[in-house]
Amino acid sequence: MVFKFDSLNNVKSAVENKDINISIEVYKQIKKAFYSKVKRNKVIAFSIQLKDNIVDFELGRDQWKQSLTTCMDVFAVNDMFEECIEIQKILKEL
């Protein structure tokens, strides 16, 4: 998924404020890579469009635990408990 932003400051703000849509996308991409038969060492967590440029945000496997923990915090606040349970399963295996 490509998120559209007007400026880098808006991107920074969305990430710092733990935007639910970005969190959902990060979770989906890590989950997809985790359960893939091909072991991946990084994922494109999400992409942004700034004017005419598209920028991919990659997460290395060593960043997955922290990213999933953050996603779980966001999901808990938004009553997305099924996703929290799935994240806990993934975290145990990482």
**What is residue 57's predicted lDDT score, i.e. its pLDDT?**
95
User: Do 46 and 3 meet the contact criterion of CB atoms below 8 Å apart?
Assistant: yes
Q: Which domain holds residue 70?
A: 2-93
CA distance 25 to 1: 7
DSSP 8-class letter at 63:
G
Domain count, the chain: 1
Give the chain's mean pLDDT.
95
- pLDDT tens column, 56-80: 999 999 999 999 999 999 999 999 9
DSSP per position, 66-88: HHHHHHHHHHHHTT-HHHHHHHH
Residue 90: pLDDT band (50, 70, 90) is very high
* Percent of residues, the chain, with pLDDT higher than 70: 100
pTM for the model: 0.91
pLDDT at 1 over 90: no
Residues 20-62 have pLDDT tens digits of 999 999 999 999 999 998 989 999 999 999 988 999 999 999 9
8 A C-beta contact, residue 59 and residue 52: no
